[in-house]
Amino acid sequence: MPEQLNTRVEDCFQQAEAFFKRPFKRPVVSLKLRGQKAGVAHLHENLLRFNPQLYRENSDDFLKQTVAHEVAHLIAHQLFGDRITPHGEEWQLIMRGVYELPPNRCHTYAINRRSATRYIYRCPCPDSDFPFSAQRHGLVKQGRGYLCRRCREPLVFTGLTRVE
């Protein structure tokens, strides 16, 4: 799997070099990205991070569009510097002119969201459920307190949880 990805990254760089008639510094490529993003270009670190799950589930489009999208960010940065907008005209020029692809800002891949446990807190106000994340609930257990914005009373854990 990573071999095809690395090959596509190299192909994109070679296309850009042929188009602009100059060399570009190659990035480090990582498959350590989780969540909703398909890829991220870290411009100053010259690093590309890709989401392995979205790659596996959408490999053809991912290789064609997402890899070119992220490489185009690095190429635009190396050509034009820091003062350009991420999906501005310079980046769009590269997507259209070099890769002959639509300059789509976002992917349309289906994403399976993870379920999250919410810890229910309340105050004296009527209908006052405050679902806390596991992280915030942990902070309360360490001694942090939270107040209701309406009545200014402390929020108290009810002992109830729900999965969203």
Where is the binding site for Zn(2+), in residues?
Answer: 69, 73
Q: Which of 70, 90, 100, 153 is catalytic?
A: 70
Give me the long-range contacts of 147-153 (CB less than 8 A, separation at least 24).
147/123, 148/123, 148/124, 150/123, 150/125, 151/123, 151/124, 151/125, 153/123, 153/124, 153/125
The verdict on whether 164 is a catalytic residue reads: no
Annotated binding site: 69, 73
Helix (H, G, I), strand (E, B) or coil at 34: coil
C-alpha 34/C-alpha 31 separation (Å) is 9
DSSP assigned state of 119: E
C-alpha 155/C-alpha 140 separation (Å) is 10
Catalytic center residues: 70
